[in-house]
Structure 1
Amino acid sequence: MPKSKVVITDFINPPLHHEEKILGDIAEVEALNAFSEDDLTGKIENADAIMLYHFISLTEKTINRLENCKLIVRCGVGFDNVDRALAREKGINVANVPDYGTEEVADSAIGMMLTLTRGVHYMNNRLQRGAGPWIYEQVKPTHRLRGRTFGIIGVGRIGTATALRAKALGMRVIYYDPHVPDGRDKSLGIERIEELDDLLSQSDVVSAHCPRTDETQHMINDETIAKMKPGAFLVNTARGGVVDAHAVLRAIEGDHLRGAALDVLETEPPEEDDPLMVAWRNPSHPAYDRLILNPHAAFYSEEGLDDMRIKGSQNCLRVLNGQKPRNVVN
C-alpha cells in the first residue's frame, strides 16, 4: 500500500525527526520551506494532510487545488491564515494546536510588561548611546507595580496564564472577554469588565490575548488607544491584526502611550520602509526607546517548538489512521 503524503508548508526545515518518528511508518513527510503561497504550486496538490505554520496563508488559490487533503493543521494557536470556510466546503478539517506555547507566551507578555514598566528597556537604550544622565531620574515617574491595574483582552489559555502571573506580582487584574462563561473571574480571583472601553480606561497596562477575527481586527486603534490612561503601556503577544501598529506609533509620538511591546505584526517580516520600522530604528524618534518589537517569538522555547511539531504530527496521524482529528476549528 503506498504511503500517504504530509506536507509542511513553511517555517520548519529538515531534519524532520519529530514528524518522521510519528508519521514515518505511514506517510512521506516533505517540508517545502515556503515564504509565499505561490511557492506551494505543484508541490502540495496531492497532500493527504498539511501542516501550516505562520509564514504564509492558505487561501482559495491553494485550497481549490487540493485533491486528497483530509486535514490542515495550523501548528499554532491562531488560525486566521487559512480559509476555514472554504476548507469546510471541500470537506477538509482545519485544526490548530491551542496548547503548545501557553507558558512561553504568558512569560513573554509579563517579561515585556516588566521591561516597559520598570524602565529597563528605556534606560538601557539611552545610556548605551550616551543619552541623558546616569541616574534613575530618566524614568521618573515610575510607580510600584503592586496595586497597579493589568488589563487583559481575552482569557483563554494564554490570557489565563498571564493573569495568574500578573496576580502573583500583586497587580489588580481585570479582563474583557465576552465569549467566556460566567464564573471565570471567581475561579481565577480576578475581575470581569463588561465593556472594552472600561477596561482601557482603568488599566495601567493592557495586554492582548485574543484571536484575530472580524470582531477583533484592529480592536486596538487610534480611537481605543485614546481611551487608555495617559502614560499607559500596551503589550501584544496575540495576533498582529488585533493591534493597529501605526496607531501605536502615533500614540507614542503624541506622548499618550508611554511605551508598547509588540511581538506580532500584521506583515511579518515588515517592509524595511514601513513607517513603524523607520521610527523604531531612528535614535531621534521616541519609538526608539519606548517601543519593543520582537519577531513573533513569544511562543518560542525548545520545548514549545517540540510540542508544536509533535502535536501537529499526532493529529495528522489520527486522521490518516481514519480517526477524528482534535481541536477542529471549522
Structure 2
Amino acid sequence: MSRVVVTGRIPETALEKLRAEHEVDAWEGPESIGREELLRRVAGADAVVSLLTERIDAELLDAAGPQLKVVANVAVGYDNIDVPACTERGVVATNTPGVLTEATADIALGLILSVTRRLGEGERLIRSGQAWKWGMFFLLGSSLQGKTLGVVGMGGIGQATARRAKAFGMEIVYQSRREIDPVLADEPGARRVELDELLATSDIVSLHCPYGPATHHLIGAEQLAAMKSSAYLINTARGPIVDEAALASALRDGQIAGAGLDVFENEPSVHPGLVELENVVLVPHLGSATVETRTAMAMLAADNTLAVLSDEQPPAPIN
C-alpha cells in the first residue's frame, strides 16, 4: 500500500475510494493546514491530493522525498502548483477539468444577472430595514437582450457561459489563444476577436482564461479604460487576472458600470475599495460549490491518484 496525503477536507466518498487501496493521511481540521504541518505530513508520501489553498513547490516536493509519484490537485486551475518542479522530479501533476464546467458557468451567469439587475443592492436595502417603495426609476438595472457578451478564454467554462448568455438573447464575441471547434463556436454563435476589440465592444466582459504570468493583471487600468462606461466585468477564473486596485478606481469613478467577482487577488482578503462600493457583487469563490460538483472533483482527483500509483495514465494529467 502506498501512502496518500490529502491536504484538506474532501468528500468522504473520495476518501473511501483512496482508503480501499492505500493508506490515507487526510487533514480534517476546520482551517487550512499550516505550512509547517503540511511539510511534516508529506514526508514519505507517495501521493499528495492537494487543494488550491496549498502551495505545491520545490520545497514541498523535496520534503516529500524522491518516492513521490503524483500531485493530484482538486481544482481545474493549477497556479498553486510548480509544474516544472514536478516534472523535473518525475512527479505527475493532475487536475480536475470538465466536472466543474456547468457549475462555474452557472455562477458566471448568476453574477451577470446580479450586477446588471442590481440584486445585491436590493437585498442589502431590504435587510438594512430602510423604507422603500416601488417606483418607475427605483433601482433600475440593465437588460441582457441584444447586448454583447465578451468571453475572455473560450475553453469549456467560457463556452458553457456563452451558451447560457445566448439563451438570454445576447450576442457573443470571444478572445482565445486558439480557434475553438467550429461546432462549439457555432452553437453559441460566437465570433472570435482580439482582446482590444472585445473590451471596446462588449457590454459584459466575462473572464474564463487560466492564470499564469501571461495573464497576471490582464485586466488593469488601461483595459478598464478601454471598456464602455456602461459595461460590466465578471471574473470567475482567478483573482490576480484583474488588478483589484485599478478595478476599484474604475468602479468608483464610473469608468465602467459594475462588476461581479467570485475570485480575488489575495483570497480571502478583498480590496477594501471594492467592499465599500454598491456597484460590485462579491461572492466567496463559489464557482464549483455544489455538492455534486465538489464530489465529482474529489472523485476525479482520486482516480488520477490511483491511476498513477498503479503505473497507469491518469484521466487528467497536466505534465
Alignment partner, residue 40 of structure 1: 38
Equivalent residue runs for 1:273-284 within 5 Å: 276-277=271-272, 279-280=274-275, 282=276
Equivalent residue runs for 1:99-248 within 5 Å: 99-129=98-128, 130=130, 134-140=134-140, 142-181=141-180, 183=182, 186-248=185-247
Q: TM-score, normalised to structure 1's length?
A: 0.89
Deviation at 1:200, TM superposition (A): 0.6
CA distance in 2, matches of 1:83, 1:120: 39
CA distance in 1, matches of 2:82, 2:94: 12
Instruction: Write the deviation string for residues 270-306 of structure 1: whole angstroms up to 9, x where unpaired.
Output: 1xxx6x23651x4xxxx1x211111111111000011
Deviation at 1:4, TM superposition (A): 0.8
Alignment partner of 2:64 out of 66, 86, 89: 66
Task: After superposing the two structures, state which structure 1 stretch, 226-235 or 37-46, moved more.
Answer: 37-46
CA distance in 2, matches of 1:329, 1:81: 13
Q: 1:91 to 1:219 in 2, by over 3 A?
A: same
1:56 to 2:45 alignment: no
CA distance in 2, matches of 1:328, 1:254: 44
Instruction: Write the deviation string for residues 190-211 of structure 1: whole angstroms up to 9, x where unpaired.
Output: 2333310100111111110111
**AA at the equivalent of 2:212:** T
Alignment partner, residue 25 of structure 1: 20
CA distance in 2, matches of 1:119, 1:246: 22
Equivalent residue runs for 1:254-273 within 5 Å: 254-270=253-269
CA distance in 2, matches of 1:253, 1:74: 37
Percent identity at matched positions? 32
Q: 1:132 to 1:199 in 2, by over 3 A?
A: farther
Equivalent residue runs for 1:242-321 within 5 Å: 242-270=241-269, 276-277=271-272, 279-280=274-275, 282=276, 287=277, 289-321=278-310
Contact 2:39 2:63 in 1 (8 A): no
CA distance in 2, matches of 1:30, 1:299: 25
Contact 1:201 1:227 in 2 (8 A): yes
CA distance in 1, matches of 2:213, 2:84: 14
Match of 1:215, SS? helix
**AA at the equivalent of 1:165:** R
Instruction: Write the deviation string for residues 85-114 of structure 1: whole angstroms up to 9, x where unpaired.
Output: 011000001111001211110001001101
CA distance in 2, matches of 1:56, 1:186: 35
Contact 1:76 1:96 in 2 (8 A): yes
Contact 1:63 1:87 in 2 (8 A): yes
CA distance in 2, matches of 1:128, 1:292: 16
Instruction: Write the deviation string for residues 67-95 of structure 1: whole angstroms up to 9, x where unpaired.
Output: 22111111111000010001100000111
Task: After superposing the two structures, state which structure 1 stretch, 304-313 or 51-60, moved more.
Answer: 51-60
**AA at the equivalent of 2:244:** A
CA distance in 2, matches of 1:263, 1:137: 29
Q: TM-score, normalised to structure 2's length?
A: 0.92
Q: Which 5+ residue runs of structure 1 have no aligned equivalent? A: none
CA distance in 1, matches of 2:225, 2:183: 28
Match of 1:64, SS? helix
Equivalent residue runs for 1:83-98 within 5 Å: 83-98=82-97
Task: Number of aligned residue pairs: give it.
Answer: 314
CA distance in 2, matches of 1:247, 1:35: 32
Deviation at 1:63, TM superposition (A): 1.4
Instruction: Write the deviation string for residues 54-75 of structure 1: whole angstroms up to 9, x where unpaired.
Output: 1121112211222221111111
CA distance in 2, matches of 1:114, 1:71: 40
Instruction: Write the deviation string for residues 225-257 of structure 1: whole angstroms up to 9, x where unpaired.
Output: 111100211110011111112211111111112
Deviation at 1:131, TM superposition (A): 7.7
Contact 2:116 2:143 in 1 (8 A): no
TM-align CA RMSD? 2.0
Match of 2:284, SS? coil
Alignment partner, residue 3 of structure 2: 5
* Runs of 4+ that moved beyond 4 A: 131-134
